[in-house]
Structure 1
């Protein structure tokens, strides 16, 4: 019987265990969207994870949707990430950068003058986004032209190359949570009638072409892909999940990616179907709403539902989470008031058992 504490070979790299740190936005980047000394401390503290997936990192200027998030599209950003990956590697960890283009989720005040959020269609999301001036309503995005879509795909590939130059072991493409890739997948945000929408094949095309370009840039064995079928976050509405995500998985499978990372909804049957049809490694962030993912999720590795389990806020609050899970606790309680922005409080000051 396989347990969470056994090693796993991911894209040819040995992971110390089958416990992953899920990507979590922290909004603590430095000037110019750069990683900081505290960023290095934060991730190195969590190097006991089998795999770390970083916070969402924008592949281009217009891909930023939140204050103080890091990027991988400038030389300064690449140089700033290098001490982070070095610190994780010194402590025996494996770290992937999550590439996140937020698309219509954002606000012009977060972008350079004259730049506005973009999307597959000019359809504003319902709700608000946090900015430096407080919450602001989402704006109607500018619809991407065919040429701009191809440029955006190239941006993902360029950012992936930058990630490898910065010392990352690989990248994860964020195709979930209502951001740009997910916006192309969902019919309420993608109302195009050209080759980038209109049908299931059209709506999955952007996701597949991004993954293809990134795999060609750095090798499919260094690329993960995250999805969240049916997740309504950021005003996404999806039906026919089996059709859409079945088609997506079938189209991605030939790329021989490192893994598929599923943020699960209340559809365990869909999870099992995707798992069965995905030929590579499978990472599951299980549906536990309204509770956070806890120790019970490790049973999903034992019964073969998944290869790895990813933890979010539990890893945020417990830098030595794999050790704590193996010991049966105790566990620090996450402080939601320090999740986004601020200083090292609630970032690098959660104690480990040996602290």
Structure 2
């Protein structure tokens, strides 16, 4: 942080306010990103609601990039009710309005695309059975045994990600983020827990990389064919799993080395704390993000997220990583960046109040989520012990 005086007033210039030019030539006006957060507010068919459009508009303009909550690329990939969809052309009119609402004052609009895989239910899929890399049930309450995907289904799903990218381009988005994290389908193919195939799509580490790398290749080809050279392609990962077997950090670091030459424009690491160390190896005290940064090299920027609320938090992260994503704090304070730029940091809000609902344009389903499961995390008062509440909410919060 650089401190200077302007008109006799001491001002602060943070590194995270600097612009950043991606390798494809797209310039991002600053290094603060609105993280992808589930708001469960789309119509049943996945079409964007006006409430969602207003929610994203309220938070655009200050941040350099704004990433939507996850949008399913096919009907069989739907993970929860109220989920955004990019599975067919009927979504395009409202999707276009959403893209435009996110692009105010030069903010880059990024559509996160995903398939839930086994992290859904036959009820949500209206009677259809969930699918995954292998017919292995997730180790979570209420999960169902999925069907193992056939070769044809795998190739069709890869095409679904390409078609979703085409729709994002047609809708006016500045980019897509491929969601390879949070236990969803792409991660399920990478994980030895959920992928126990014996064909080219599974088995050893190299084969488990094939599906995510083919998804990236398809997305990149669609972008190339569109002629949109500055269209941004990001990729999100979760670096470890606690299941046995499960993804180990050493495997992720090998995968990251492959991702560094895949053509993506940034890598986004999904964790609850920017500075978290290994969950599986307590003797490893080096922050995971620093290890990933080393494996990634300097060609591709790293986006980090987790427990970033104050300008001091953001600047600390920006000293080590290129992009700093913020989630719950931008729900509470849509004008976070604008207030920092104006030197008005003392007015930044760090708590939610029911009286703020209308001003913050929080859709009713999201408000219900925040005021029940996520009271302590959202900065709301709670009668429960905060530590207990946080522990109970930790897994669902990964959606944010």
After superposition, the Cα gap between the structure-2 partners of 1:196 and 1:98, relative to the gap in structure 1 and judged at 3 Å, is same
C-alpha displacement at 1:251, in angstroms? 1.9
* Partner Cα separation in structure 2 for residue 14 and residue 310 of structure 1: 17
Does structure 1 conserve the Cα–Cα contact (< 8 Å) formed by 2:40 and 2:366?
no
Q: Normalising by structure 2, report the TM-score.
A: 0.76
Does structure 1 conserve the Cα–Cα contact (< 8 Å) formed by 2:197 and 2:203?
yes
C-alpha displacement at 1:99, in angstroms? 0.5
1:299 and 2:304 matched: no
Does structure 1 conserve the Cα–Cα contact (< 8 Å) formed by 2:193 and 2:247?
no
1:9 and 2:9 matched: no
* Partner Cα separation in structure 1 for residue 116 and residue 174 of structure 2: 23
Q: Equivalent residue for 1:333?
A: 351
C-alpha displacement at 1:239, in angstroms? 4.6
Of residues 263-272 and 184-193 in structure 1, the stretch that sits farther from structure 2 once superposed is: 263-272
* Partner Cα separation in structure 2 for residue 88 and residue 176 of structure 1: 23
Q: Equivalent residue for 2:294?
A: 276
1:18 and 2:31 matched: yes
In structure 2, the gaps of 5 or more residues are 2-13, 279-285, 370-377, 379-400
* Partner Cα separation in structure 1 for residue 353 and residue 195 of structure 2: 36
* Partner Cα separation in structure 2 for residue 45 and residue 275 of structure 1: 32
Q: Normalising by structure 1, report the TM-score.
A: 0.85
After superposition, the Cα gap between the structure-2 partners of 1:85 and 1:149, relative to the gap in structure 1 and judged at 3 Å, is same
After superposition, the Cα gap between the structure-2 partners of 1:259 and 1:309, relative to the gap in structure 1 and judged at 3 Å, is same
Q: Equivalent residue for 1:35?
A: 48
C-alpha displacement at 1:49, in angstroms? 1.1
1:318 and 2:333 matched: yes
1:262 and 2:269 matched: yes
Q: Equivalent residue for 1:193?
A: 198
After superposition, the Cα gap between the structure-2 partners of 1:214 and 1:53, relative to the gap in structure 1 and judged at 3 Å, is same
> Match of 2:219, SS?
helix
Does structure 2 conserve the Cα–Cα contact (< 8 Å) formed by 1:100 and 1:179?
yes
C-alpha displacement at 1:106, in angstroms? 0.6
* Partner Cα separation in structure 1 for residue 34 and residue 244 of structure 2: 25
* Partner Cα separation in structure 2 for residue 32 and residue 202 of structure 1: 35
Q: Equivalent residue for 1:240?
A: 248
> Match of 1:322, SS?
helix
> Match of 1:159, SS?
helix
C-alpha displacement at 1:231, in angstroms? 4.6
After superposition, the Cα gap between the structure-2 partners of 1:237 and 1:167, relative to the gap in structure 1 and judged at 3 Å, is farther
1:117 and 2:124 matched: no
After superposition, the Cα gap between the structure-2 partners of 1:152 and 1:87, relative to the gap in structure 1 and judged at 3 Å, is same
User: Greater CA radius of gyration, 1 or 2?
Assistant: 2
